[in-house]
Amino acid sequence: METDTFPEIPDLVWGESLVTGDGRMDETHEEFVTQLARLRALPHDQQLEPYRALVAHTVEHFEREERWMVAVGFAEDNCHAAHHRQILDTMRAVEAHFLQGDHEIIDRMAAALAEWFPMHAQTMDAGLAQHMRAVGFDSRTETLADPSRVRPATMTGCGSVHCS
């Protein structure tokens, strides 16, 4: 039997499978997961402001990671940062559609984020966290123990073993 509905995307729950090994990154990711879960639990008419808060959180989250990438030797236009831009562009477009009357779009975006985030965290972010540890980068102070261990702007990949 054909259906016009998509399969239900389960709620994203913070857990060990999402841990990258960098405490500051993991705290930010846990905040993202918590905000996303709260958003998904709300009725449509109460979602816009929490969605805006999630977008603002995600902007800060991605900007922080991108600062770290540059600090540990990634080129500014690396594929991980490009992926962030694609996600943010999509997230920003949602509000306009909501305001034009598509009151289910935040639900759809939240479900898409719940489906997307685990793979991003387990690959790109875990790879970044591993590289930060390898070069002695402290994400809390945003400093390198030994700056000579990093060659600036030499990495264009995402840091994940899945990215060439």
| Residue 162 included in any domain | no
pTM of the shown model: 0.87
Q: Which two tokens stand for residue 37?
A: 């879960």
| Residue 23 included in any domain | no
Question: Tell me, what's the pLDDT at 77?
Answer: 85
Question: Tell me, what's the pLDDT at 9?
Answer: 84
52: Cβ contacts below 8 Å, ≥ 6 apart? 95
Question: Tell me, what's the pLDDT at 2?
Answer: 41
Question: Tell me, what's the pLDDT at 36?
Answer: 97
24-35 tens-digit pLDDT: 999 999 999 999
- Strands annotated E in 8-159: 137-138, 143-144
Q: Which two tokens stand for residue 87?
A: 């996600």
Give the residue numbers spanning the domain of 45: 28-134
Amino acid at 161: V
| Residue 12 included in any domain | no
Question: Tell me, what's the pLDDT at 15?
Answer: 96
Residue numbers of the chain with a pLDDT score lower than 50 = 1-4, 160-164
Amino acid at 63: E
Question: Tell me, what's the pLDDT at 153?
Answer: 63
| Residue 130 included in any domain | yes
| Cα distance between residue 60 and residue 28, in whole Å | 9
Residue corresponding to tokens 């449509």: 44
The domain total for the chain is 1
59-95 tens-digit pLDDT: 999 999 999 999 999 988 889 999 999 999 999 999 9
| Residue 40 included in any domain | yes
| Residue 95 included in any domain | yes
CA distances from 134 to 21, 23, 73, 129, 149 (A): 12, 15, 12, 9, 9
**What CATH number is given to the structural domain containing 57?**
1.20.120.50
Question: Tell me, what's the pLDDT at 159?
Answer: 52
| Residue 1 included in any domain | no
Question: Tell me, what's the pLDDT at 137?
Answer: 97
Question: Tell me, what's the pLDDT at 103?
Answer: 94
| Residue 116 included in any domain | yes
